[in-house]
Structure 1
Amino acid sequence: MRGRYLKLGTGELAAAASFAVVAVALVMPRLAGPDDSAALWSALVPLLVVLVQAGVYWLAARSWVERAPMPVAVAGVYRVFRIADAVLLGAGLVGILVWWPDQAGTALLVVAVWLFAVVEYLNYFVVRLAYPLSRWFTTVGQWRAPQLVRDLRTSAPAPRSRNRPDPS
């Protein structure tokens, strides 16, 4: 499992880096103006954030996989990410609508990037969507919880001190 998690983590980080490099080096120079750039970054930032969080999650999970539950502090951070990422996706959509590209091709690209960010968010925080192509159609309909969600569920909260006075 540790080797598999290493591949998943480095793969997500490499994907984030690839998207950023392609956007800066290949897409941005071809855009018509600042509104198109703003629309692209409104779609791309949520995707990059989710991919980096996912990569860090898989790499960090190597320390507890098959040994212990997810550490409480890490679980707390990812519970915050779950909410913050949804807000970031909403803000990204607002940015896309505010800076809607004039060119149909650019608009299609921006919407596709944002939708991919939504799919990645769903895949990590809502329902598992990533399966091998040979099993995808038969497995995705089972609505399985993503590994991150399962780790969050099994992470035990810190025990409350019995010596602490009752606040009431």
Structure 2
Amino acid sequence: MVLFCIVYAMYTRPDTRFAASSAILYFPLGIVNLILVQGSFYWLNCLWRVRQKKALKTQRIAPIYKRLKVLDLILLASYIPIWFLTFRENTINNAVIGILLWLFAIIEFINYFYYRLSYYAMGGLSLQIIRPFRLLFTGKAAKSQIAKEILLYKKKYRK
């Protein structure tokens, strides 16, 4: 996540780094970072649960992530008008990189809030790329851990 910010700062010129036209790049970069931070906090909380330290239980964390899911979805959808409004002021490279960052944010959003998209190859040396998407499109993908917690919360703790 920090690497994305460093690469962005190195890629852009100082005079255009935070110009309004750069929203085509830094808005999806911000969304990706936000989703990755949310996922990091979730897994940190899970680690604390395993280590039996002070951690949030499902009845506390599920409503938080249910709201974050809606916020992320709104941010992802709001990029579409931003892209169209700033497209003319940008180069084709910026537009393409912005779309790629946005697609990466969508993949991470699906990975954290809907279906597990990270599967390891034999021996755990690399991530698989084709298998998760095949499982997703055939409807056989496993629910993500956050999605499971939200479902558990809806079934068990909600009145």
Q: TM-score range by the shorter chain?
A: 0.7 to 0.9
**8 Å contact from structure 2 (residues 111, 118) kept in 1:** yes
- The percent of aligned pairs where both chains have the same amino acid is 23
One of 144, 150, 153 as aligned partner of 1:152: 150
What is the Cα-based RMSD across aligned positions, in Å?
2.8
Residue 38 of structure 1 aligns with which residue? 23
Q: 1:133 and 1:116, CA in 2 relative to 1: closer, same or farther beyond 3 A?
A: farther
Q: Which runs of 5+ in 1 are unaligned?
A: 1-15, 161-168
Residue 7 of structure 2 aligns with which residue? 22
Superposition deviation, residue 123 in structure 1:
0.7
Moved over 4 A (4+): 30-33, 65-69, 133-136
TM-score normalised by L of structure 2: 0.76
CA distance in 1, matches of 2:39, 2:20: 29
Residue 123 of structure 1 aligns with which residue? 111
* 1:16-165 correspondence runs (5 A): 16-23=1-8, 25-29=9-13, 34-65=19-50, 70-100=57-87, 102-133=90-121, 136-138=129-131, 140=133, 141=135, 142-155=140-153, 156-157=156-157
Q: 1:70 and 1:153, CA in 2 relative to 1: closer, same or farther beyond 3 A?
A: farther
CA offsets, 1:1-23, max 9 Å, x none?
xxxxxxxxxxxxxxx22212222
Q: 1:149 and 1:70, CA in 2 relative to 1: closer, same or farther beyond 3 A?
A: farther
Q: 1:48 and 1:138, CA in 2 relative to 1: closer, same or farther beyond 3 A?
A: closer
Q: 1:17 and 1:117, CA in 2 relative to 1: closer, same or farther beyond 3 A?
A: same
**8 Å contact from structure 1 (residues 127, 145) kept in 2:** yes
